[in-house]
Amino acid sequence: MALLDDLLQKRVFPVELERYCTYAMEQAGLPRDAAAVSARVLTTADRWGIHTQGARQIRQLMKNIRDGRIDATARAGVTAAGPAIAILDGNRAMPLVTACTAMESAIRKAGEAGIAYVGVKRSSHIGAAGYYATMALPHDMIGIAMTNTDPWMTVPGGKGPIMGTNPIAYAIPAGSERPVFLDIATSSVAVTKILAAKAPGKRLPEKWLVDDAGRPTDDPANYPAQGALLPMAGHKGYGLAVLVETLTAMIPGAAFLSGVKCWAFDIPDKTNQGHAFLAINVGAMTPLVEFKARMDAMIREIKAAPKAGDGRIYLPGEMEWERQERARRDGIALPVYVLVNLIRLAEDTGTPESLAAIFH
Amino acid sequence: MALLDDLLQKRVFPVELERYCTYAMEQAGLPRDAAAVSARVLTTADRWGIHTQGARQIRQLMKNIRDGRIDATARAGVTAAGPAIAILDGNRAMPLVTACTAMESAIRKAGEAGIAYVGVKRSSHIGAAGYYATMALPHDMIGIAMTNTDPWMTVPGGKGPIMGTNPIAYAIPAGSERPVFLDIATSSVAVTKILAAKAPGKRLPEKWLVDDAGRPTDDPANYPAQGALLPMAGHKGYGLAVLVETLTAMIPGAAFLSGVKCWAFDIPDKTNQGHAFLAINVGAMTPLVEFKARMDAMIREIKAAPKAGDGRIYLPGEMEWERQERARRDGIALPVYVLVNLIRLAEDTGTPESLAAIFH
């Protein structure tokens, strides 16, 4: 592929990548506002260096629209609401837009009530849960976002995939220090990391998997055809994954465990994922300036702690903020698997020239 | 010790242990209602088989009262309140009572608002955080409880103790199945487990510690004089511990990191721990009968999943419920370190005959 060889030599600025992604999704049939929101969510993951959750997912999401698994023009609707809670029916609308709507609702309600929970059913893949958590930051609130996923993870005593990797993400505002930010799967590691580590005879750094008999293993040779991910920290990650499943699916009434269908497989089934969004309005409880000073003091105490060797201590999210700043300044050299997906998206939507034009 | 030898041969029923603990704390100067609440919290941990967080802690808590670190007759007061939030000043009152007051407040507010958060400052050690989470169950609510602790855990890139073990606990009601329940430290393992595993030349099952240079190790020989606990699952447990620190201490304005002083050391400093309690009123969002049916279905699907070997799959909390049932039926054979502490408590309070009388 001449275009791929060309793009591999070049870089792209995030703002231009976002504009192209909006355009390509419009060409694929998504209304302009939904395309713009979705492009913002996905390219933010690329800004953070989390390319597995970035623009490379657009082509598959657009395939979900063609296959009738996502309804391009639907909108989420409210099925239950109170001063500090709401349940949204995702109505199989574009899931990244639904998630933004839900987080905005949580933020609005927390403005009055101090804290709010919004659960979502009949949704699908939402990319990096962390994006929605960061939406709380401009409002000086703490944001928390979770989703269930189709099953990839076993549980202690079991074998084979039983639960989703059920990520938890949060964002916490600080004062003059950067916000604290985390976006983690409750499994030992993300599926994509294992696939990336696969090579003949190569072992994983730790026993992240179980084999087909349920034995912990560092051998990825037969994964994902056989075996499953282990939970992070054994029964602890399992327990947190059950909490995520409850808040995201059991309260809103979404699918759970084996009932969740993978958005990335070529199957007709609706995914019916569930999500949970929380906003905590710190200023309703303590003077914001004092809270932010305390956050700065905590961050500085952690960073100034004695080091193992001559490295440094990173706060959660610090690596993502540094990568975001580099991306804004220098552009991003996208990895080959992202470029391949973008080129195929461009072919699907008749936009190869527009894609080529954003790389420098 | 003749009494110890005697009690080691006998069992005690939880209800009698609870009654004795109430009496002993009254003799130590705690008002009757505070003694009764504290005894209920601590002996519940013994019912669950979590004896490290049980009645063995009473003697040290009573020493905190004698030393002026806990004020036996103080009560927590409200410093901020809204429809779904509150901040309590623990006023150095008996911390287990303060935590119950805070969780009751969260449950009451969630009854109206659907969800509620109550933060606590100027408190101290609260035993098993899980107890407070279970207080939501009779109200058909989900309970979540967290506390920060004095520093025992290092963070990635660091060495030595930097953060607390910052536990997270939750309880979720089900239908005909038992509630789901979890109470975990965000460190690799509890300090007490490492101390229990110490024996000349003996290694830990995994690298739960760092040594004095910050290198991960399974050798507990120099701990806790040197080294520190690792977070569970590396950066993931670290990130969750920072969230717990924020919700428990940074919002309420409690001490954080090195500012938290250990309740179990013989030092004059006030601990000033912070806690966070959340209640989620499921019935405000979805018909309770449907939620409980979904919980039952999730629990059954997990338990019925393919097993590794011929064991069984436990739901989070299932082991604790089974131990609680056994304790009610057969009584408890308390381990020696619990009996030693109870006998010393009895000596301190002039109640050895009352203690001996509850063992059969």
End of a domain among A200, A230, A260?
A230
Asked if B83 and A236 come within 8 Å (Cβ–Cβ), the reply is no
Q: Is residue A316 part of a domain?
A: no
Split at pLDDT 50, 70, 90, the class of B22 is: very high
Helix locations, B84-214, DSSP H = 95-113, 129-134, 191-197
The arithmetic mean of pLDDT across residues B20-39, rounded, is: 98
Identify residue A30 by its one-letter amino acid code: L
Q: What is the pLDDT of residue B205?
A: 87
The Cα–Cα gap between A162 and B349 comes to 52
Interchain proximity B163–A302, CB inside 8 Å? yes
Q: ipTM value of the model?
A: 0.98
Q: In what order do the strands lie in the sheet with B180-184?
A: B77-81, B85-89, B115-123, B273-280, B142-147, B168-172, B180-184
Give the model confidence (pLDDT) of B74-98 as tens digits: 999 999 999 999 999 999 999 999 9
Residue A198 lies in a domain: yes
Q: Please tell me the distance in Å from B360's CA to the nearest CA on chain A.
A: 35
What is the structure's pLDDT at A300? 98
Q: Cβ of B85 and A210 within 8 Å?
A: no
Distance CA(B143)–CA(B132), nearest Å, equals 7
Domain that holds residue A212: 191-230
Strand A115-123 and strand A85-89: the pairing is: parallel
Interchain contact, A301 vs B258, CB within 8 Å: yes
Residue A155 lies in a domain: no
Using CA atoms, how far apart are residues A90 and B259, in angstroms rounded to an integer? 45
For residues B10 and B333, give the distance between their C-alpha atoms in angstroms, rounded to a whole number: 7
Q: Does residue A1 surpass a pLDDT of 80?
A: no
pLDDT range class, residue A206, cuts 50, 70, 90: confident
And the tokens for B205? 């099952």
Q: Judge: A82–B232 Cβ closer than 8 Å, yes or no.
A: no
Q: Reply yes or no on whether the pLDDT at A192 is more than 80.
A: no
CA-nearest residue to A81 within chain B is B285
Domain boundary among A171, A201, A230: A230
Integer Cα distance of A232 and B312 in angstroms: 20
Q: B295, B10, B8, B328: which is closest to B175 by C-alpha?
A: B295
> Per the domain annotation, does A61 fall within a domain?
yes
Kindly tell me if the per-residue pLDDT of B33 is higher than 80. yes
Q: Average pLDDT of chain B?
A: 96
Chain-centre distance for alpha carbon B100: 12
Kindly state the DSSP code that residue B22 receives in the 8-state scheme.
H
What amino acid is encoded at B196 in this protein?
A: A
* Per-residue model confidence (pLDDT) at position B196: 75
Tell me: the pLDDT tens digits for A342-358? 999 999 999 999 999 99
pLDDT reported for residue B280: 98
- B10 domain-assigned: yes
Q: Which residues from chain A sit within 8 angstroms of residue B241, using beta carbons?
A: none
The whole-angstrom separation of Cα A7 and Cα A347 is: 15
Q: Indicate the pLDDT class of residue B192, thresholds 50, 70 and 90.
A: confident
Assess if residue A154 is contained within a domain. Answer: no
**pTM (global) more than 0.95:** yes
Instruction: Please tell me the distance from the alpha carbon of residue A340 to that of residue B248, in angstroms, as a whole number.
Output: 46
Domain boundary residue, one of B169, B203, B230: B230
Q: How many CA atoms lie within 13 A of A57 on its CB side?
A: 27
Task: Give residue B310's pLDDT.
Answer: 86
pLDDT band at residue A280 under the 50/70/90 scheme: very high
Minimal Cα distance from A188: which residue of B?
B233
Instruction: Round the average pLDDT of chain A to a whole number and report it.
Output: 96
Chain A neighbors of B236, CB-CB under 8 A = 184, 232-233, 237
Nearest CB neighbour to B114, from listed A117, A158, A301: A117
Alpha-helix residue ranges (DSSP H) falling in A71-127: 95-113
Can you tell me the distance from the alpha carbon of B124 to that of A121, in angstroms, rounded to the nearest whole number?
Answer: 40
Give the domain CATH number at A47.
1.10.1530.10
**Least confident piece of the model among B38-47, B158-167, B218-227:** B218-227
How many domains does the structure of chain B reveal?
A: 2
pLDDT for the residue B206: 87
Band of pLDDT at residue B182, cut at 50, 70 and 90: very high
Answer whether residue B319 is part of any domain: no
Q: In angstroms, what separates the C-alpha of B300 from chain A's closest C-alpha?
A: 11
**Does B179 reside within a domain?**
no
Task: Assign residue A207 the CATH number of its domain.
Answer: 3.30.60.50
Cβ neighbours for A200, distance < 8 A, ≥ 6 positions apart? A221
Q: Enumerate the β-bridge partners of residue A89.
A: A77, A121
Minimal Cβ distance to B157: which of A117, A243, A313: A313
Q: What is the mean pLDDT of residues A117-133?
A: 98
